[in-house]
Amino acid sequence: MRLYCLPFAGGTASSFVSWRNRVPHVDVRPLEYPGRGGRWNERSAASVRALAESLAADLRPTSAEPYALLGHSFGGLVAFEIARVMRRSGDSLPVRLCLSGARAPHLPLREEIHTLPDEEFLPRLMRYGGVLDEVLRNDDLLELLLPLVRDDFRLFEQHIHCAEEPLPVAISVYGGLRDDAVPMNDILAWREHTTKSFRCRFYPGGHFFLYDAELDVLGDIEDDIVASAPTPS
């Protein structure tokens, strides 16, 4: 079963590379957003919907084979919108959405930070965790990172959720018990967006719990995906 992984704000496909040999029954395939990693020279997307449509076009040639989508934080919203693009275009849907540290898309925005100057934006970003100390101490790395993160926050904060019928796709949600940025109720609210099975699991840790409790998270993701795999005829 292929698992396409969507990174958090400012993240790259490399965020999931270490997973490739740790989930025996899952073919982990990280996706790269335009404007970073191997797609550095491409223009970043104008909106979440445009980003989802672009990534869905990349998946479409192989979408007849069973696949699942996983997104962490901002990537959870992107994964959800990819599934809705696939439904509107009549393509094969993922067998499961795995949404990690992500607020349900219909919830109102709590604050807008992407327009703040760096001296105010960075402290708010640090509340999420995930920014390495060596990056914070290196002005050159920060100069590269902050525009990427800020642009993803722009996409997230300017996204307007359009109500549609719930997806006929099983959804699993995962959260951190000490994640102040995305509390438990914000994650459980994803239940409204599926007509299929809904599973939820919570782990010790903050917003980036999936790396702190990586083995437990990966084991549960694998269990959920394998449970959704089509039965061979």
DSSP 125-190: HHTT----HHHHT-HHHHHHHHHHHHHHHHHHHH------PPBSSEEEEEEETT-SSS-HHHHHGG
The radius of gyration of the chain from alpha carbons, rounded to an integer in Å, stands at: 17
Contact 35, 10 (CB under 8 A): no
Q: Respond yes or no: is residue 73 known to be catalytic.
A: yes
Better-scored residue on pLDDT, 136 or 158:
158
Please state the pTM of the whole predicted model.
0.94
Tell me what the mean pLDDT of segment 206-226 comes to. Answer: 92
CA separation for the pair 37, 54 (Å, rounded): 16
* Cβ neighbours of 43 (radius 10 Å): 8
For domain 2-106+163-228, give the fold. Answer: Rossmann fold (3.40.50)
Answer yes or no: is pLDDT of 108 > 60.
Answer: yes
User: What percent of the chain has a predicted confidence (pLDDT) above 70?
Assistant: 94
| pLDDT per position as a tens digit, 70-97 | 999 999 999 999 999 999 999 999 999 9
> Which residue's entry shows tokens 């509340």?
127
Strands 27-30 and 67-72: unpaired
The number of angstroms, rounded, from the C-alpha of 86 to the middle of its chain's C-alpha atoms is 17
What pLDDT score was predicted for residue 2?
Answer: 94
What pLDDT score was predicted for residue 176?
Answer: 96
Tell me what the mean pLDDT of segment 145-155 comes to. Answer: 91
What pLDDT score was predicted for residue 129?
Answer: 78
What pLDDT score was predicted for residue 100?
Answer: 97
Answer yes or no: is pLDDT of 135 > 70.
Answer: no
Alpha helices in the chain (DSSP H): 48-59, 74-88, 118-126, 133-136, 139-158, 184-188, 209-212, 214-228
What pLDDT score was predicted for residue 21?
Answer: 84
Tokens describing residue 61 = 């040639």
Answer yes or no: is pLDDT of 130 > 70.
Answer: no
Contact 67, 4 (CB under 8 A): yes
Tokens describing residue 104 = 């349900």
Tell me what the mean pLDDT of segment 207-231 comes to. Answer: 90
From the candidates 18, 63, 73, 233, which is the catalytic residue? 73
Contact 74, 8 (CB under 8 A): yes
Answer yes or no: is pLDDT of 152 > 90.
Answer: yes
Tell me what the mean pLDDT of segment 100-105 comes to. Answer: 97
φ/ψ of 203, rounded to 5, equals -130, 155
Answer yes or no: is pLDDT of 134 > 60.
Answer: no
Average pLDDT of the residues of the chain: 91
Tell me what the mean pLDDT of segment 130-145 comes to. Answer: 67
Tell me what the mean pLDDT of segment 102-118 comes to. Answer: 94
Please enumerate in sequence order all residues whose Cβ is within 8 A of that of 41, keeping only pairs 6 or more positions apart, or say none: none
| pLDDT per position as a tens digit, 15-41 | 898 898 888 889 999 999 998 888 888
